[in-house]
Amino acid sequence: PHAGPVESKNEAAMSELVPEARQKPVVPMKPMGINASLLGYIGIDTIIEQMRKKTMKTGFDFNIMVVGQSGLGKSTLVNTLFKSQVSRKSSGWNREEKIPKTVEIKAIGHVIEEGGVKMKLTVIDTPGFGDQINNENCWEPIEKYINEQYEKFLKEEVNIARKKRIPDTRVHCCLYFISPTGHSLRPLDLEFMKHLSKVVNIIPVIAKADTMTLEEKTEFKQRVRKELEVNGIEFYPQKEFDEDLEDKTENDKIRQESMPFAVVGSDKEYQVNGKRVLGRKTPWGIIEVENLNHCEFALLRDFVIRTHLQDLKEVTHNIHYETYRAKRLNDNGGLPPMTVETEENHESNL
């Protein structure tokens, strides 16, 4: 009578052991039993190519803002960056054009194509910034413009019927031009960067660096870095957004050595040693814009376009825009307010 349960116990014990006994020889046998070609290439690496094709078809947006006093060569530098006449003052100075009484915002869009890749570039100029006797709060129209672009994007995003691709007018990068005084930053520079470093990626640039000797340039760069640190101003690339050790190492080098980039811009070509180069002619020779021994323009271009352009866009979307969006939705109990137009439309629909 007791045999049944004992047998069933043994069976249970056996059944527990059986799979283990079977599993051991399976591991070496698997490659022999299955066709080797199935264990070979899957094609995951083509995902990158698929993404590249999609991006090539749609193209992409990049919006760059230039801020600084007039006469610091902002337009020339942007033209030099993208090797085309993309800035507001691509032609010579217009005598009738007076310095604006207040800060204006002028956005000019272009489509640049290189190697089959289309980029919709928007250059946002801020004529009138820092040109008045009283420059108090002259950063306000700029901050307002940046936030308006976030608001525009947010409104599109919370629509019930959303566009497949929301037009991106958000400012991805702000080049802030520092006057090459060789002394220290002006209160206006500090004020601007303090207010705007929280809402946009600021890249400080020392303009017209050819007006300083090499020693003055090195000293001025160190002084600017120190002042920004003392005032708690975070410029791009911000330390807290470094994703991994490789990023941190690369960005630390940029933060501690290159920033702020001391640059010279020029859209004129000269012949130097049988080669055509972009440069500025002086009585003692030609300053070659793309020669690292002469200025750091090539470093700035590589940084903005060749290594960090996509990251500038991502930080704008994931950090600055997210901060704006979270604050906006919190203040408003979850949704942006209906605009006057939508309220009127709503009433007329009723």
Distance CA 124, CA 169 (A): 10
Amino acid 90: pLDDT: 45
Q: Which helix (H) or strand (E) holds 202?
A: strand 202-206
- Higher-pLDDT residue of 39, 7: 39
Amino acid 11: pLDDT: 52
Distance CA 138, CA 134 (A): 9
Q: What is the mean pLDDT of the chain?
A: 79
Amino acid 10: pLDDT: 52
Of 124, 123, 126, 127, give the one whose Cα is nearest residue 82.
123
What are 286's strand-pairing partners?
Answer: 281
Amino acid 202: pLDDT: 94
Tell me which of 1-5, 232-236, 266-270 is least confident.
1-5
Amino acid 277: pLDDT: 81
Amino acid 137: pLDDT: 82
Q: Which residues contact 154 (CB under 8 A, 6 or more apart)?
A: 321, 324, 325, 328, 336
Distance, CA of 269 to chain centre: 29
Amino acid 251: pLDDT: 84
- Higher-pLDDT residue of 160, 176: 176
Q: Which helix (H) or strand (E) holds 280?
A: strand 275-282
Q: How confident is the model at residue 331 (pLDDT cuts 50, 70, 90)?
A: confident
- Higher-pLDDT residue of 171, 298: 171
Taking the CA atoms of 152, 154, 156 and 160 in sequence, report the sign of the dihedral they define. negative
Task: Check residue 196 and give left, alpha or beta (phi > 0: left; psi -120 to 50: alpha).
Answer: alpha
Q: What is the mean pLDDT of residues 291-298?
A: 80
Amino acid 65: pLDDT: 92
CB-facing half-sphere around the CA of 31: CA atoms within 13 A: 4
**CB neighbours of residue 345 within 10 Å:** 12
88 has pLDDT over 70 = no
Distance CA 21, CA 15 (A): 10
Amino acid identity at 203: I
Q: What is the mean pLDDT of residues 260-275?
A: 82
Distance, CA of 113 to chain centre: 19
Amino acid 91: pLDDT: 42
Please report, for the chain, the start and end positions of each structural domain, with discontinuous segments joined by +: 64-158+167-332
Distance CA 170, CA 145 (A): 9
Q: What is the mean pLDDT of residues 74-85?
A: 82
Of 111, 112, 106, 143, give the one whose Cα is nearest residue 125.
106
Amino acid 7: pLDDT: 52
Distance CA 48, CA 41 (A): 16
pLDDT (tens digit per residue) in 39-49: 677 888 889 88
Of 200, 144, 151, 169, give the one whose Cα is nearest residue 332.
151
Amino acid 322: pLDDT: 94
Amino acid 313: pLDDT: 93
296 has pLDDT over 80 = yes
Angle at 174 between CA 168 and CA 175, to 5 degrees: 140
Of 75, 62, 68, give the one whose Cα is nearest residue 103.
68
Share of the chain above pLDDT 90, in %: 19
Amino acid 94: pLDDT: 53
- Burial string for 81-118 (b: 16+ CB within 10 Å, else e) reads bbeeebbbbeeeeeeeeeeeeebebeeeeeeeeeeeee
**Span 64-158+167-332: which CATH code?**
3.40.50.300
CB-facing half-sphere around the CA of 301: CA atoms within 13 A: 18
